[in-house]
Amino acid sequence: MSGLNVVLAEIRLPENRQRDTHNLGKSTLGRLLDFGFLAGRDPNFFLFRYPERFNGYTFFLEIELADGSFLTVRRNVAQASRIAFKKHAAGHQDFSALTDGGWDHQDVPFDRARELIDSLLDWRGLKPWHYRKGLGYFLRSQEDFREVFQLRRFANSHADWKPFLAHLLGFDGDLIGRHYASEERLATLRQTEQTIQTELGGTVVDASKIEGILLLKQKEVASKQALLDAFDFRAADKADTRALVEDVDQSIARLNARRYTLAANRKKIDLSLKEDQILFNPEEARELFAQAGILFAGQIKKDFEQLLTFNRAITEERRIYLEEERAEIDSELKAIGTELNTLGKRRSEMLKFLSDSDSFAKYKQLSSDVVALRADIAALERQRAHLHRLQELRTDIRTVEAEAGALQSQIEADVEAQNADPGSKFSTIRIYFNEIVEEVLDRKALLNVFPNRQGHLEFRAEILDEGGNATSADLGFTYRKLLCVAFDLAVLRGHLDQRFPRFAYHDGVLESLDDRKKENLIGVIRRYADLGLQSIITLIDADLPARSPKESPVFEDAEIVLRLHDEGEQGRLFKIPTW
């Protein structure tokens, strides 16, 4: 029914007052509403988890449409994917006994049923999104109070819910969706680019070089294939002879000359190292002079020793240089020897080819060369194709990068414009949001939306202190729940001029608040109900604000649409034992 709808769970037994959960069904009601709005089949959902208890149940949901008519949805648990609909002029109808022929649509397949109810609801304010996209904001379970913006059903990527949320707040959700899509395309292109680079061996060869090598090999294979086709090897013999004379022999002669020069230099180094030995010994000279009766001591001996020390220093330094030079010569001689062995082998193979008089052996050799060349050409063509694809990818990457950059600029401009315009939908919603929080807490609250460096929107709901600075008060679960309620109601009120949902379900809305804040929140919910919004709240009687017997009850009897209690099965939602 319209206005304020209270589902009140009364704890009548004293032993149950200290329990956290009572299993009366007040929280279950929200899930049943979602079931009536054609939620998907979840095996963990209690209706499907306990088929032995609920397969015989059929649920009916009556929805008032924008034109004042009503739509009743029938959904059976056992056949949850087959839906029936009936549109009618008056509300509060009981169609539980209506036969199948009395329904406008019956046995409608699940996906088609969702399309049908989407068209009948005609919630144009949600378009181009499906009617179920935003239901989580208007059917808040306890789990959905943990985050103001990201609902439990939005646990996947930001691209799934941020464009829709931006649309609800008056921003260009299409821009944001396209920006996420361009980033996804960019990530895919870059992954493909990385894959191609891996296939190329991690290095990217110049395409011009590939084309040049490919051209030379194609020319070579065409020439050898022509020889094979003509069965004439004279040109091949001539080419190999020229290569033997002009290339291999000249290279061997050049290397032999170089080896001779290096060997001569090495011999000179060996002689120099031997000649550098100092054979003069001062002690032997002293004995020789003594035998001759000549005094060899004092200053003469000292001068000779200093001279020897100086010569040794010079000789040692020269020896180091000579040994380094000899090591370089040895290394080069070794390399020359290896290269001469290779050239000698090649020369031997060419001479064998030239001296071979068997035409079939030469044909076999040329055929082998052609096969190898064709394999090289095939590999080069694959490499060329990869390079061509890589160039196309990089062009696409630059294009998508430019597109993403342009979209980011448009998003930033749109956010700036909506923030700056006091008459924009976002400005209106943030004013309603602050009014609700301020009325309940006597503290201002800020609804903030801004783009980060990547152009993605960030959403913030913060309680402010007296100086207008954000505080950590919103981090507590109680205040976070209040921010969720304020956000939902502000969004609903901000879309009163559109075809948009007109209801909000909040489970356990008064829990943990002090009595004054509870009274304030109830006043806000009533005021919003007077605007034409249907507000459904659930609570336990222990959460009611205290009032004296002389004061009127917190809720009027007409506002309490369902009373649950703990005195037996009749007080539970389904009037059956707990499961």
Q: Is the peptide bond before 282 cis (omega within 30 degrees of 0)?
A: no
pLDDT per position as a tens digit, 428-457: 999 999 999 999 999 999 999 999 999 999
State residue 21's pLDDT score: 56
- Kind plus residue range of the DSSP H or E element containing 559: none
- Is the Cβ–Cβ distance between 450 and 458 less than 8 Å? yes
- Any idea which of 52-61, 79-88, 232-241, 477-486 has the lowest mean pLDDT? 232-241
- Is the Cβ–Cβ distance between 430 and 419 less than 8 Å? no
- Is the Cβ–Cβ distance between 185 and 397 less than 8 Å? no
Which of the 8 DSSP states describes residue 472?
A: G
Position of tokens 């009395």? 102
Banded pLDDT at 535 (limits 50, 70, 90): very high
pLDDT per position as a tens digit, 282-338: 566 556 556 655 555 556 556 656 666 766 666 777 788 888 888 989 998 999 999
Bigger pLDDT: 323 or 175?
175
Cα angle 38, 74, 154; round to 5? 10
DSSP state letters, 450-480: EE-TTS-EEEEEEEB-TTS-B-GGGGSHHHH
Bigger pLDDT: 2 or 57?
57
3-class DSSP state for residue 83? strand
Which pair of structure tokens corresponds to residue 286? 């002293």
In terms of Cα–Cα distance, which of 543, 559, 547 is closest to 508? 543
- Kind plus residue range of the DSSP H or E element containing 351: helix 299-355
Q: How would you write 217-250 as a 3-class SS string? A: HHHHHHHHHHHHHHCCCHHHHHHHHHHHHHHHHH
Q: How does the average pLDDT of the chain come out, rounded?
A: 85
User: How far apart are alpha carbons 41 and 515 in whole angstroms?
Assistant: 40
Average pLDDT over residues 459-470: 87
In terms of Cα–Cα distance, which of 541, 470, 473 is closest to 510? 541
Considering the chain, what percentage of its residues have pLDDT values greater than 70? 83
CA-to-CA separations, 439 to 13, 435, 443, 502, 523, in angstroms, rounded: 35, 6, 8, 22, 9
- Is the Cβ–Cβ distance between 117 and 104 less than 8 Å? no
